[in-house]
Amino acid sequence: MRSHLAALASIVLALAPSMLRAQGPSLPTEFIQQPFDVQRYDVAAYVNDLPSKFMLGQCVITVNWIADQPNAVFPFHLRSLTIDSVVVRKTQLTVTTIGKPSDASYHHEIGLGARNAGQADTIRIHYHGTMTQELGTGQWGGVQYQDSVLYAMGVGFQNNYVSATQHWMPCYDHPSDKATLHTTFFSPVNVRVASNGALQRDTILKGTPSNVRMTQWEESHDCATYLMTFVAAPYTILDLGTEPVPMQVYSLRRDSAATSKSFSLLPDMVTLLQQRFIPYPFDKVGYANTTRGSMEHQTMICFALSISQSGDTVNATATHELAHQWFGDLVTPIDFRHAWLTESFATYCESLWHEHLFGNTGYLKMEGSKANDYMFRIAKTSGIGAHEGVFAIYDFPRATTSNYPETIYKKGDVVLGMLRALMGDEAFFAGLRRYLNEHAYGNASTSDLVTALDVNTSVDVTSYITEWIYGKGWAKLRVELQPGPTSTRIRITQVQRDLDTSWTLYSQLPLNCTYTDASGAQRDTVFVFSGTSPLEFDVASAASLKINDGSHCRSLVQVVQTTSVAVGPSPTSYDIALAPNPASTHVKLTRTDATHTSTVDVVDVGGASCYHATWEAGSASMLVPTSACAHGAYTVAIRTDGRLATLPLLLTPSW
């Protein structure tokens, strides 16, 4: 052990002035093709004092040159740690630091001289110091020590460089360049260190003054740097067996019982995702309890301790992180503009898990709640509860949100659910399997997903993704009810662009409606309606109509106005409108003719009224408080001189 430490100690280099460079490394939200391809990282790290976050490290980077370079430059990232030496071909090289730590582009470079395509270099970097957390206001990415656990979170929420593996190992820290990873950790004998891949060795070395534990891991599958990690603590290992794949959870002994319970359905989760997609692509499924939340490091997931302690066996978060092993880890976005290719899918897999456990009802309930959560809480721009606002999923604005806004999780999830409803299960899941197989162990962009999905389907996937992923907003609907002698004509129009022209108009919008048709038959229909053309159909009575309901799908739609034409003995008819819909605490009624006094009732599906009032003549509008009504479907009945107008109303909980 002593000799190992001696080998790591070396000289701190003075940094040279800035070097000229033709083009720099890719920023987090861009992809610049580099002339090199990192093949492998070999990291040896001594972590003998966990609370201090001190590391003495050595990283050997194997790089292939893929283009001739008269003056080859290799850029790498490393933050807060001191570079002691960089040696290539037995020569110690000068390191140039580019930019300030506050820059997203902050990195180091070494000049290697002429290199031809096909040549390789082995770059040995010795370094040491105190590992830190992400810069900025976030306290998530980078290296943390809490509750006896030292661990590395591969991305940050607020850091402008996103990928945070540079807080513990030198690397070309961009998702586009994946490599294999071999790690060796030296730790106190009671501290287990978990990392990516398969465990190669876990042994106690006799040393002076004390023994040292050596743990070696090998991730032999290409891995994005943001998915590399290590977790060190006096853990016990909960072995969950080898069927369908080897599964372990690292836990402090005190949390073992609750953690075992929380992960009791993990084999079912793996089986479900293998059936839906393709066989699990790595050596093991690993989780380690850590304090600050969950992160899908390849084969060694940092997992929110509070969820493990809860003993919740449904554990949708475990499914979410497991799903990332396919979406994000096996197939990695080429850069972070495409982060939805990981988060939307992992979030959607939570709904697939609910579908598995609780059937179609459980699936629809989860999809519906995510749609409402997105439209009425997450996308709220102003006022009480203002949150992220409205923006496109692709290349979202990081300055006003974070590297991982909720929009890409929740809206993206429902966008996938709607696409499944449009394409049908067979074409949708076959397309996703094609995407995973074609880009396995590599990178993909949003257009790669479109190409893989756009096979054997009548859906125009290109337009769909353009509208829902590159465009912003959701569908706002005006519903007009036109009572006739024997049935009521329903006319639904997309009006979101009437309200805000920067929003998208949807050419393929699935809308699940239930109603009693004019012949008296119960219908549960998915209409696909398009652009400015209204959707029209007949129902026996307006009260039987439920929009975005039924047994097939939940969509990102909001009924903003319901208009009914009141008819009766009066020779004239007039419009009554209701908004918002869905509503939570109140709805506003408006009418074009205020010359008569009306009565207003809010009636539930069982016929019980939860609100009754008089709407005096002379008032064109009226505010109806609905806080006293439980959430659910209602009919607002307005009676005027024997004439009846009915408007469907959905009440949701206030978020």
What is the number of other CB atoms lying within 10 angstroms of the CB of residue 193? 26
Q: Which is nearer to Zn ion, 36 or 287 (CB)?
A: 287
DSSP string, 267-286: HHHHHHHHHHS----SS-EE
Q: Which residue is nearest to Zn ion (CB)?
A: 346
Contacts of 239 (CB under 8 A, 6+ apart): 247, 248
Task: Check if the beta carbon of residue 422 is closer than 8 Å to that of residue 453.
Answer: no
Total residues interacting with Zn ion, rule: CB under 5 A: 2
Q: Which is nearer to Zn ion, 216 or 403 (CB)?
A: 403
Query: What x-and-dash track marks residues 420-439 binding Zn ion by CB under 5 A?
Result: --------------------
What is the number of other CB atoms lying within 10 angstroms of the CB of residue 502? 10
**Please, what is the minimum distance in Å from the beta carbon of residue 352 to Zn ion?**
14
**Please, what is the minimum distance in Å from the beta carbon of residue 324 to Zn ion?**
6
274, amino acid identity: Q
Q: Which is nearer to Zn ion, 86 or 331 (CB)?
A: 331
Q: Which is nearer to Zn ion, 220 or 369 (CB)?
A: 369
What's the start-to-end Cα distance of the chain, in Å? Answer: 57
Check residue 341 for interaction with Zn ion (CB under 5 A): no
**Please, what is the minimum distance in Å from the beta carbon of residue 637 to Zn ion?**
45
SS3 426: helix
What is the number of other CB atoms lying within 10 angstroms of the CB of residue 551? 12
Q: Which is nearer to Zn ion, 297 or 478 (CB)?
A: 297
**Please, what is the minimum distance in Å from the beta carbon of residue 223 to Zn ion?**
16
DSSP string, 497-512: HHH-TTSPPPSSEEEE
**Please, what is the minimum distance in Å from the beta carbon of residue 147 to Zn ion?**
22
**Please, what is the minimum distance in Å from the beta carbon of residue 162 to Zn ion?**
14
Of the listed pieces 184-192, 308-316, 344-352, 359-367, which binds Zn ion according to CB under 5 A? Answer: 344-352
Q: Which is nearer to Zn ion, 398 or 591 (CB)?
A: 398
User: How does strand 475-483 pair with strand 643-651?
Assistant: unpaired
Task: Check if the beta carbon of residue 280 is closer than 8 Å to that of residue 294.
Answer: no
**Please, what is the minimum distance in Å from the beta carbon of residue 331 to Zn ion?**
14
User: What residues from 371 to 410 belong to the interface with Zn ion (CB under 5 A)?
Assistant: none
Of the listed pieces 35-43, 80-88, 341-349, 503-511, which binds Zn ion according to CB under 5 A? Answer: 341-349
Which of 303, 87, 58 is closest to 183 using CA atoms?
58
Of the listed pieces 136-144, 277-285, 345-353, 470-478, which binds Zn ion according to CB under 5 A? Answer: 345-353
- Residue 498's alpha-carbon distances to 485, 492, 505, 521, in angstroms, are 32, 14, 10, 35
**Please, what is the minimum distance in Å from the beta carbon of residue 226 to Zn ion?**
12
DSSP run (H or E) holding 483: strand 475-483
Contacts of 560 (CB under 8 A, 6+ apart): 476, 477, 478, 495, 499, 579, 580, 581
Q: Which is nearer to Zn ion, 321 or 467 (CB)?
A: 321
Q: Which is nearer to Zn ion, 277 or 634 (CB)?
A: 277
Of the listed pieces 102-110, 154-162, 337-345, 491-499, which binds Zn ion according to CB under 5 A? Answer: 337-345
Q: Which is nearer to Zn ion, 308 or 564 (CB)?
A: 308
Of the listed pieces 30-38, 338-346, 361-369, 452-460, which binds Zn ion according to CB under 5 A? Answer: 338-346
User: How does strand 598-604 pair with strand 632-640?
Assistant: antiparallel
Q: Which is nearer to Zn ion, 150 or 322 (CB)?
A: 322
**Please, what is the minimum distance in Å from the beta carbon of residue 586 to Zn ion?**
36
Cβ-count burial 69-89 (b if 16+ within 10 Å, e if not): beebbbbbbbbbbebbbbbbe
Task: Check if the beta carbon of residue 421 is closer than 8 Å to that of residue 391.
Answer: no
Q: Which is nearer to Zn ion, 219 or 329 (CB)?
A: 329
Cα dihedral 501, 507, 510, 511 in deg (nearest 10): 50
Of the listed pieces 346-354, 373-381, 418-426, 637-645, which binds Zn ion according to CB under 5 A? Answer: 346-354
**Please, what is the minimum distance in Å from the beta carbon of residue 68 to Zn ion?**
40
306, amino acid identity: S
Q: Which is nearer to Zn ion, 235 or 327 (CB)?
A: 327
Largest pairwise CA distance in the chain:
102
Residue 91 gets which letter from DSSP? E
**Please, what is the minimum distance in Å from the beta carbon of residue 433 to Zn ion?**
21
Task: Check if the beta carbon of residue 433 is closer than 8 Å to that of residue 331.
Answer: no
Of the listed pieces 285-293, 340-348, 518-526, 625-633, which binds Zn ion according to CB under 5 A? Answer: 340-348
Q: Which is nearer to Zn ion, 145 or 345 (CB)?
A: 345
Q: Which is nearer to Zn ion, 176 or 325 (CB)?
A: 325
Alpha helix segments (H runs only) across 479-575: 496-499
DSSP run (H or E) holding 368: helix 340-373
**Please, what is the minimum distance in Å from the beta carbon of residue 67 to Zn ion?**
35
**Please, what is the minimum distance in Å from the beta carbon of residue 495 to Zn ion?**
34
**Please, what is the minimum distance in Å from the beta carbon of residue 342 to Zn ion?**
6
With CB under 5 A as the contact rule, the residue among 181, 322, 346, 539 that binds Zn ion is: 346
Q: Which is nearer to Zn ion, 81 or 334 (CB)?
A: 334
Tokens 């819909």, residue?
Answer: 581
Spatial separation of the C-alpha atoms in residues 75 and 499, rounded to whole Å: 48
Cα dihedral 141, 147, 148, 150 in deg (nearest 10): 0
**Please, what is the minimum distance in Å from the beta carbon of residue 225 to Zn ion?**
17
Which of 411, 385, 414 is closest to 585 using CA atoms?
385
Q: Which is nearer to Zn ion, 192 or 370 (CB)?
A: 370
DSSP run (H or E) holding 106: none
**Burial bucket for residue 112 (CB in 10 Å: 0-12, 13-18, 19+):** buried
SS3 187: strand
What's the token pair of residue 249? Answer: 């959870």
Of the listed pieces 273-281, 339-347, 505-513, 581-589, which binds Zn ion according to CB under 5 A? Answer: 339-347
φ, ψ of residue 214 in degrees (nearest 5): -115, 125
Q: Which is nearer to Zn ion, 95 or 305 (CB)?
A: 305
Please say whether the dihedral angle defined by the alpha carbons of residues 137, 140, 145 and 151, taken in this order, is positive or negative: negative
Give the residues lining the site for Zn ion (CB under 5 A).
Answer: 343, 346
